[in-house]
Structures are given as structure tokens and as C-alpha cells.
Structure 1
Amino acid sequence: VTLAASAGFCFGVKRAIEMAYAEIEKNNGAPLYSYGSLIHNKEVTKDLDAKGLHIIESLDGIDEGTVVIRSHGVGKFLYDALAEKGMRMVDGTCPFVKKIHTIVNEAWNQGKSIIIAGDGKHPEVQGINGWCGNTAIILESPEEAKAAVLDTEKDYAVVVQTTFRQSKFDDMLAILREKGLKMEISQTICSATEKRQKEAMELSQNVDKMIVIGDKKSSNTQKLVEICKKNCENTVHIETICDLVLKTFKKDDRIGITAGASTPPAIIKEVVVTMSEIENVNVEEVSFEQMLEDSLVTLHTGDVVKGTVIQVVGEEVSVNLGFKSDGVIPRGEFSRDTTVVPSQVV
């Protein structure tokens, strides 16, 4: 099992998370909000919400409290709105993203048109666009760059989403140069992103199976999956260990693991430890206890199994599966029909 060196939290995400937990710790009961998801990871945002940091998508009806700005950043409008309301703000914007805001805003104030290479639906790109009055031309692919109708008489400032693939951006720049545009290009892909993608490419070329850990909505995780699948057809994308179907892995598999920038260390560690336990079983040194364990049924996520009902107590059904412990099915999980009473049908 090989874990990519740069897997997991990047500097910007780690900084935003630390700022959020610091605010929670010192909060005295005043309203505390995150403008949009602080990072793209459901497990983290769920924990933050449970501790009192609630996600909002607008300031409508909110006039007091503290707002933590997400790591992906926001447009200038929010800073102005918070100042107008006199609300406190904690800026968790990634410094690399903040730099793009400055570049775009200065270029726009100089009368230049803005081109952003990136995903127009991604909050980072939407935030960047908010620093030029939402007037940017957003291009996501070489095909879009080729189809774009642009004015050769204008001056353009070109920036790129921090998690964008460098090779794709290079292809797009080549197309834009062919159009004869006057461009000032800022290479704003995050160096940590570039390093993570390079490691993923190299690792996926030298393993039998590749695991990419990260939220399904995470842009940088999706790009890691895309890169790994090109080199290793046995690439799986999971959010947590619960998504991993362990029976697809064998003891002699060479397994590579990487993770998106918003994946917490605890989730990565759980996957690495689980895979390492599969790897480290030595058949020649199996104890009696291990042989007893092996004689029992092994269950994996996604298995459909038969069991024998051994008792029904308090509308909970206990089932013998031949596993080391019995299965317990509460009434709420027994049937989609809420009127069904387990003790009357088993």
C-alpha cells in the first residue's frame, strides 16, 4: 500500500478549517455562519454544523453574528454587504485564491477584459468572477476556447482556477494565442494542486489498483480520479471507508492511495490502515484465533446474504449470519412499509 505524499488537506483548506474551529471554540453563543460550504467535504461540514457553524447561501434576514468566508472565496459583493450590516467577518479564503481576486480586480479597474480558465459552476470561479463585476469570460475546455468569439482589439487578463489541470490550461492558451489576442497571463494554478496531480499520475502508473478519497463535489478530487483512471483502469473513488467494497482487493495487490485537498487526515488514515491490514496477513503465521475468525463468514459492503432469525425482542429482529456477531435489524430498517410489525411476519 502506497500513500501519495501530498494526499489530503492542502495549506488553504487546513487554514480555513483551523480558523473555523478557533471561532467555534471562542464563540459565546452568538450566531456563527459559513458562507457556503467551508470546504467540499460532507464529513467536515457536518461536524462543523453540529458544533455551531451553520451554512448560509445569502445574508437575507441575517443582521448579526460572525460569517466565516469559505476557502474557495466569494465575490466583492459579500464583503460590501457585511460591512454595510456591520457584521463581523473571518476571511478563510485560500491565500492563493485571494491573490487571483487581487489580479482580476486590478486588471478590471484598468479596463481590461477578464478570461477565467475553469469550471463556471465551481464556487471558486464564481467568487473570482465577483471581483470583475461578473463580467468574466469563463472557458472550461480547449473546445470552448476554440469556439469563443473574442475581440483582438481588447486587452485581456487571463487567470486560471487553482485546481485546474496544467496540461488542459496549456492547450487552451495555445488556442487563445492562435487567435492573436493581447493577453496578460497569470499562472495561478496552485503549486500544491500541481504536485498532487503529478504524484497521482506517477503512482497510478505503478499499481494494480488505485483508491482516490474525496467528496464527490470536490473539483480537485474529480481531477485526481480522471488522471488515475487514464493510467489505472482499476481506480475507485470513495468518500469514506464505508464506500469501499473490500472483496475486490487481494492480498498481493499493489494499491495506491491519494486524496483530494479537502479530505481530512482521519478518513485517509482509516483507509490506509484497512488496506494495510489486508496486505499484512501472513498465511504461515496464522494463529488458532485467526483460523477461527477465518471459518466465519466475511461480510463486505454491498453483499446480499441469507440469515436465520433467532429471536424477535422489542420489535428488533436478531439474525444469525454465521458471522462473529449476530445481525440486528430494528423495526425502522425492517421494511419500507411503516405499518409492518416484524414479530407478526417472522
Structure 2
Amino acid sequence: MEEELKYLRLLSEQFPNISAVTTEIINLEAIMELPKATEHFISDLHGEFEAVSHVLRNGSGNVKEKINEVFSERLNTEQINQLATIIYYPERKVASIIETLSSKEEREEFYHYTILALVELGQFVVSKYTRSKVRKAMNPDMSYIMEELLFKDSILSNKEPYYHNIIQNVINLEAADLLIISLSELIQDLIVDHLHVLGDIYDRGPAPDKILNLLMEKKSLDIQWGNHDVLWMGAASGSKVAIANVLRICARYDNLEVIEDSYGISLRPLASFAERVYSKNNSKAFQPKLDDEMTHFPEEDKQLA
């Protein structure tokens, strides 16, 4: 009995009465009945930020798949691709489309159609989640409007003018871009519920630091560190062997910018030391491995070596 009381006292700190416990049990039981959300596995990132960013924006193809499920009977391939690109890169794509539209009527029609399409797709995507979870993922500046549109009651047709006026007022107040961006980012975030990252994040690629910053924005993920990740952790912790190995790999693959530009560590003292001590040695064995597209002056290659 005393053992049970110990746990009940701990439970009472979060749920002070029977009503609170009952409500939590009901909520958890209801969540368990929701459809299983999508999990995404991504591996061997190797510092390639642009590629990783694109994969996360499109949910490894899940965004296009959901668009096809919702709109395959109503939109052609070109329209589906345009909507997908708006979701991947809303700010850039919307700006490029608006530039091609000469009249105010055309721009308003584009905004109205795009918002309606994103709302319909968003309703399909958020159906796997509780309203509370969806609300937490929304842009706070647009949360009220997005919640009204995404959770509108399709049965009550007498509220259609209300929803139409919301969208029209957003357009009139020049907030359509922000709403489209907010809806697109919400779809990006919720299209994949949990992200599994299988190292390496670090290696030869130019921007592992940007990948880490991107992953820190994700609300639900786990990481299995790779050997290169552990090497960089060792270097950051002060291991001289790890530091030397990181410098060797970065120099070998012409990737010293990540050390100098991303982390602000000057390598000039190291280069000066190498020129002074090893200037008479043949450095051919230490020449960097360069892509065919990369061009360097001989003196640059010598410094890298």
C-alpha cells in the first residue's frame, strides 16, 4: 500500500483531483485511436545542407503524394507541380508567380485559389492530429485565421460567406503572402510527425552547421550519431587527435570554409607553420581531392596540401 501511495503522490503533483486524471486518461485514449502519423528516416547527410533542406521540405515525396490524393481528379500535372513548389518554397515561388500577373484581379484570383487549395490539403494533413498539436505547430501571427479555416465545419453551409470573407479580408489587407507561407510551413511540419536522423551529419559537405540549426527547429526527432559526428564532438571537446583528424579531412576535401567561416576559427597560424616547417618537402602526396568543376590556382592547392 505504501508503495502505491508513493506513486499516487507523484501523480497528484500533475493531476490534483479525480477529474484531472479522468480528463487526461480520456485524452490519451482518444489520441491512441488517431491514425498513425508518418515517420521519416534520413541518413548520411554528410553536410549537404541544400539537399537535406529540400528533402525535409517535401517530406521525402510525401507532400506530392498527399497533393495527388486530394487533387488528382481536379488538377493537371502542371498545377500539381506548381502547388507542390509553393509548399516547398512558398516565399520564392509566390513572388515569382505574382511577377507574371499584370492585373489586380489576376493576383487576387491566384491568392484566393492558392489559399483554398492549401486549406483543403491542410485539412487532409492535420486530420491525423489533435487540434491542440496542430495549434502548437501554427505560426502564432496567423493561428486564429488558420484554425478557423482548417477546422471549419463542412456540414454547416451557412458559414461559407464567413470563410469567404476571412480569405478576402486577408487578401485586401495584403496578408495573403504571410498566410500562404504559414499554411505551407504547417503542412511541411505535419506531413512528417517524427524524424529519425541516422548519421553522419558531418563529413565532407560544406554546411553541417546549417543542418544542425535546421534540425533544432524540428519538434520531434531522434539522432543516431555517426563516426564523423563523434569525431567532431571529440574535436569540440578539445581532443588534439580529433582536432588533427578533422583538419586533415577538411583540408583533404577542400572544406576548410566550414572551420573558418562557420565556426570563426582562423587557420592562418597553421598555414604559416606548415609553410615554414614543410616548405622543402614534396607535398604531392597531400594534394586535396578536388571535383572536376572546382578550379584553384596552384598556390591555393599548395596551401591546402
TM over 0.5: no
Scaled by the length of structure 1, the TM-score of the pair is 0.28
Normalised TM-score (structure 2): 0.30
Flag the structure with higher helix content. 2
Q: Which has the higher contact order (CA 8 A, sep 6+)?
A: 2
